[in-house]
Amino acid sequence: MPLTDQELKTLDDQGYLFFPNKFTAPEAALLKHEAETVYAMDRKEVWRESSGAARTAFAAHTYNEGFRRLGAHPRLIEPVEQVLGGPVYMHQYKVNAKAAFDGDVWQWHQDYGTWKRDDGMPEPRAMNIAVFLDDVTAANGPLLFIPGSHKRGVIEAGHDLETTSYPLWTLDRKTVSELAEQGGCVAPTGLAGGMLLFSSLLVHASPGNISPFGRIIVYLSLCHVDNHIRAFNRDEWIAHRDFTPIEALSDDCLDELVAENRRAAE
């Protein structure tokens, strides 16, 4: 189902769209299980917090069948193709955990800022998708957005190598406050299976998690194939170099796996 004119207008105004229950509970549960499998792996792509808890599994679509299918799912590929006006490739793929009690902060940043500076991506013709694998609540470190902040283009940022576990180009407080005076600050929350589509220029962050419940969100960054990165400074499993257009799978591609697992368990 293509995005409606109203949805496209909201995306243009606010910089994001939220689709509660985009994936069913069994689909989300399948991917949650796969995330735990991936986090248990001893691989260079799996990064941990200082506590040892998994924080990010990069490029999970290259070594896990469930995440491979999610990365080509029509429910996310088709709207992004529509918004960007053509075929897309996967620039980055992260399964991000925010561990119970220990989950750490991500400071305020724009993703495209990093892609431009580090990866030489020519234009912000790229969109982010977030798929909730757990219920995301006010209590467990939801994603925070500053609506409308994507309209400001690339904002000056400093390279933060200290306050987060992952190097990030972060915005200063004065800038964040000014943007929020205009646009406010929202935390889209909802059940596992929800999906966010947001601009790669949208200013966002996420707080620590002191709650007793962890939460996992999959972030997929999709880029128009003509806009592929030009600089290969980062590892290829962080900033991908396979610019082949993604062909969307069928809408039941995850359901098939759910059914296969159910049969295998019988």
- Residue found by looking up tokens 């990165």 in the block: 229
**Smallest separation, CB 2 to a copy of itself (Å):** 30
**Smallest separation, CB 103 to a copy of itself (Å):** 10
**Smallest separation, CB 186 to a copy of itself (Å):** 7
Indicate the residue among 201 and 222 with the shorter CB distance to a copy of itself.
Answer: 201
Residue 234 has a CB neighbour count (10 Å cut-off) of 17
Indicate the residue among 44 and 173 with the shorter CB distance to a copy of itself.
Answer: 173
Question: What distance in Å separates the CA atoms of residue 127 and residue 21, rounded to the nearest whole number?
Answer: 20
Q: How is residue 111 written in tokens?
A: 């993703």
**Smallest separation, CB 207 to a copy of itself (Å):** 5
Indicate the residue among 174 and 230 with the shorter CB distance to a copy of itself.
Answer: 174
156 Cβ contact partners less than 8 Å away, ≥ 6 residues apart: 171, 175
Burial of 262 (0-12, 13-18, 19+ CB in 10 A): exposed
Interface ranges with a copy of itself (CB under 8 A): 100-101, 105, 107-108, 137-142, 144, 146, 173, 176-177, 179-180, 185-187, 189, 205, 207-213
Indicate the residue among 29 and 100 with the shorter CB distance to a copy of itself.
Answer: 100
Q: Say if CB 54 and CB 97 are below 8 A apart.
A: yes
**Smallest separation, CB 38 to a copy of itself (Å):** 23
Q: Which of 109, 132, 130, 129 is nearest to 201 (CA)?
A: 109
Indicate the residue among 82 and 177 with the shorter CB distance to a copy of itself.
Answer: 177
Identify any residues that bridge with 196 across adjacent strands, giving them in sequence order. Answer: 18, 130
